Amino acid sequence: MEKFNDRVAIVTGAGSGIGRALALEFARRGCKIVLADIEEQPLDESRNLVSALGVEALAHRTDVTQAESVESLVAATIERFGAAHILCNNAGVGGGGLIKNQQLVDWKWVIDVSLWGVIHGLHYFLPHLMDADEAHVVSTASVAGLLSHPGLGPYNAAKYGVVAIMETLYLEMQQDPQANVGVSVLCPGVVNTNIASAQRNRPEHLQRERKSVDGSKSKGARKQNDAIAAALAAGKDPAEVAAIVAKAIEERRFWVLSHPEHLSDVRHRNEALHELANPTLPRSFF
């Protein structure tokens, strides 16, 4: 995009982490900001931070798993600002555990938020982006959308899906002579966010069935959760990631990898695929 000033930027998952950082980054660049999140208090806090920068901000509570909720977000955006220029499909949740221990509700919850949230965002916002003189859409996947790590089956599946959808959309926009929509996919590594506590927003109907587990399994799960929490606490500052995303939008660059240390593993995976070699464990994931 050639300019950010007076553009309308929509960010889902804007109540914290990368989403809040993206909203603030775009606000500093002069955008009008639409903030969407399922949690009202963090959403209001983000709106206040954005408004303090002297730009117009609209906060709209949104459940990205529900089509009608995203449709309502679009209606509120167009009613308030009359256009949409930058869409960040950023809302997502994490989920861990071995596939053999997953319950169906684990798959449904992670995929509903992290994959269907992107699908809903594109379905309802894309017509308005295509109506703009210039627009851009970026969806947050993960390095887990490029490299599979054991213990993250639902998360890997959702993030691979996001990468596939965005790559497809990029090619379609390139072929469409009527479109001036840039497309990017963000594949961050470990970022200092609260994604490890995403269970706080898990709906009642998708809660796990309580099953007895032996002490060794429970201890193993706690150990993995502690390792993930420690890695997140030492992760990259979300503001750094947001600045990288804004630069990618300026350059109309598709791939946005905030952690270049993962590129060697991505290259190794692609080379192994070329040789039809069996998968190996990524070295730089955590």
Residue 99 lies in a domain: yes
pLDDT in the model for residue 283? 78
Which residues, other chains included, contact 162 with Cβ-Cβ below 8 Å and sequence gap of 6+?
Answer: 89, 114, 115, 118, 139, 140, 141, 145, 185
Residue 35 lies in a domain: yes
pLDDT in the model for residue 222? 57
What pLDDT, in 10s, does the model give residues 184-229? 999 999 998 876 666 777 777 888 887 645 545 555 555 555 555 6
> Chain-wide mean pLDDT for the chain?
91
Which strand (E) or helix (H) includes residue 111?
helix 104-114
Taking the C-alpha atoms of residue 205 and residue 96, their distance in angstroms, rounded to an integer, is: 19
Given pLDDT bands bounded at 50, 70 and 90, which one contains residue 74?
very high
Place of tokens 């399922």: 38
Domain region containing 182: 8-202+218-274
pLDDT in the model for residue 1? 85
Residue 100 lies in a domain: yes
Does the pTM exceed 0.85?
Answer: yes
Give the three-state DSSP class for 152: strand
CATH number of the domain within which 67 lies: 3.40.50.720
- Which residue would you say has higher pLDDT here, 199 or 64? 64
What pLDDT, in 10s, does the model give residues 146-175? 999 999 999 999 999 999 999 999 999 999
Residue 283 lies in a domain: no
**Above 80 in pLDDT, residue 34?**
yes
| Mean predicted confidence (pLDDT) in 34-58 | 98
| Mean predicted confidence (pLDDT) in 122-128 | 98
pLDDT in the model for residue 96? 82
Residue 211 lies in a domain: no
pLDDT in the model for residue 139? 98
pLDDT in the model for residue 254? 98
Catalytic residue among 124, 155, 160, 170: 155
CB contact at 8 A, 265 and 147: yes
Closest alpha carbon to 245 in 137, 113, 84, 116: 137
CB contact at 8 A, 159 and 142: yes
Determine whether 155 is an active site residue: yes
CB contact at 8 A, 191 and 238: yes
Residue 24 lies in a domain: yes
DSSP string computed for 201-247: G--GGGPPPP----HHHHHHHHHHHHHHHHHHHTSB-HHHHHHHHHH
Residue 68 lies in a domain: yes
What pLDDT, in 10s, does the model give residues 101-118? 999 999 999 999 999 999
pLDDT in the model for residue 205? 85
Residue 3 lies in a domain: no
Q: Give the chain's domain count.
A: 1
Taking the C-alpha atoms of residue 134 and residue 88, their distance in angstroms, rounded to an integer, is: 15
pLDDT in the model for residue 81? 98
